[in-house]
């Protein structure tokens, strides 16, 4: 994929701080870390987001995120780890090449990640549950 910065970083066309590399993935340090040790798991194959990428590549990226989370926790003596993966501008994605954030967390570093509360009613939740369930068949 031409002009994709994460394709260039993942495939070594642009040098960057690399935590780990294999045939299919590269784990790099985020250029604007939310905390010390904030890394990104990048597939070498281009796919804009979870919808464009095949399940096998997505699953491999998540397995690798677990391995990086364990390594970062030990290496930096982190108290916890946030794993984030944004899909689409409305979800906060800014770089349109699938990636998983692995963010070490330390006691009292900042208030825990806020989860917006939509105020959906039980009825709305039940309806959404049924609708999503239909598409799982």
CA distance 113 to 136: 29
Supply the minimum distance, in Å, between the C-beta of residue 54 and ligand AMP: 20
Of 65, 85, 73, residue with least CA distance to 35? 73
* Cβ-based neighbours of 82, under 8 Å, separated by 6 or more: 101, 102, 103, 105, 113
46 touches, from Zn ion, ligand AMP, none (C-beta below 5 to 8 Å by class): Zn ion
Is 38 a known active-site residue? no
Supply the minimum distance, in Å, between the C-beta of residue 123 and ligand AMP: 33
Q: Which is closer to ligand AMP, CB of 24 or CB of 35?
A: 35
Among 26, 38, 97, 101, binds Zn ion (CB under 5 A): 97
4 touches, from Zn ion, ligand AMP, none (C-beta below 5 to 8 Å by class): Zn ion
Task: Examine residue 26 and tell whether it contacts Zn ion (CB under 5 A).
Answer: no
Among 32, 108, 112, 118, binds ligand AMP (CB under 6 A): 32
Site for ligand AMP in 64-93 (CB under 6 A): 86, 92-93
Q: Which two tokens stand for residue 72?
A: 């970062």
List residues with catalytic annotation: 99
Q: Which residues of this chain interact with ligand AMP, rule CB under 6 A?
A: 5, 9, 16, 28, 30-32, 86, 92-95
């Amino acid at each position: 994929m031409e002009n994709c910065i994460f394709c260039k970083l993942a495939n070594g066309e642009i040098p960057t701080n690399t935590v780990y590399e294999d045939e299919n993935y590269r784990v790099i340090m985020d250029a604007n870390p939310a905390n010390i040790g904030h890394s990104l798991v990048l597939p070498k194959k281009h796919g804009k987001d979870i919808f464009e990428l095949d399940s096998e590549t997505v699953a491999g990226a998540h397995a690798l995120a677990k391995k990086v989370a364990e390594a970062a926790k030990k290496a930096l003596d982190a108290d916890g780890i946030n794993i984030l993966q944004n899909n689409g501008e409305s979800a906060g994605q800014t770089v349109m090449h699938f990636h998983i954030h692995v963010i070490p967390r330390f006691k009292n570093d900042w208030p825990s990640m806020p989860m917006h509360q939509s105020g959906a009613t039980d009825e709305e939740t039940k309806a959404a549950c049924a609708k999503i369930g239909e598409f799982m068949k």
